[in-house]
Every structure is written in structure tokens, then in C-alpha cells.
Amino acid sequence: MHLRAMKKTRGEVSLHDPIGVDKEGNEITLIDILGSDGDSVPDIVESALEQARLLNKMKKLTKRERYVLELRYGLLSGVRQTQREIAKNLGISRSYVSRIEKRAVQKLMKDLGTEGA
């Protein structure tokens, strides 16, 4: 029974399993030689948490403000649009889109700024 269970895991390799030793006699693991930035995973997680926090705060904005920011910064689709494209889509002037965007960003900055205090 034990041999059958071990057969399934025989092909698996842990990143922390020793694969050899260096010149000084220290064990080398697979994770030591992989070329990745150690801070990349925490940065990705932090970025995702910040984005979730921002999207939660955006619920307090008007529908139009939220829509403009979503399009302008590509928050939902990942595709950013210019103020001119948004203005054409909404049938308003580019300068009005700029004012909506500015007002929405100021609201978010004020809301996020008071959260940390």
C-alpha cells in the first residue's frame, strides 16, 4: 500500500529539496538557482489587495464618475481609453470628461487618505 502511494509522488520535486552543494559546502536547493525576483510575489499580492480596496472605495462614486475611471485607467478590462474616446462614447466634451475624472480622483484620494489616519 505504501509503495503505491509513493509511486504517485515519485515524479514530484519540491523547490526546497537539496540538489547539490556549492564550493563552500552549503546545500543548494532548486529555489536558490531559479532566476526570479524574491519580492515579485509579495508585490503582486499587495497590488491586488490595493486594487480591490480601490474598487471597493469606487462604490461611493456616481455611476458616471466610476464609468469614466474604469475606462480611463482600464480597471475592469485592462484597456485604457483616452479622454477623447470616453467623451465620444458618452456624447460629452473631452473637457467635461477631464473634470469628471479630476473630481472622482479627488474624492478617492480624500477617502483613501482619511482611511489611514
Structural contact between residues 58 and 69, judged by C-beta atoms closer than 8 angstroms: yes
SS3 72: helix
Structural contact between residues 94 and 87, judged by C-beta atoms closer than 8 angstroms: yes
- pLDDT-derived band at 102, boundaries 50, 70, 90: very high
Structural contact between residues 83 and 99, judged by C-beta atoms closer than 8 angstroms: no
* pTM for the model: 0.58
**For 41-85, how does the pLDDT look when each residue is reduced to its tens digit (9 = 90+)?**
777 778 888 888 888 889 999 999 999 999 999 888 889 999 999
- pLDDT-derived band at 107, boundaries 50, 70, 90: very high
- Counted domains in the chain: 1
Asked whether residue 78 is assigned to any structural domain, the reply reads yes
Query: What residues have CB less than 8 Å from 57, skipping those under 6 apart?
Result: 108, 111, 112
Instruction: List the domain range (segments joined by +) for residue 85.
Output: 57-116
Q: What is the CATH number of the domain that holds 76?
A: 1.10.10.10
List phi, psi (to 5°) of 29.
-110, 165
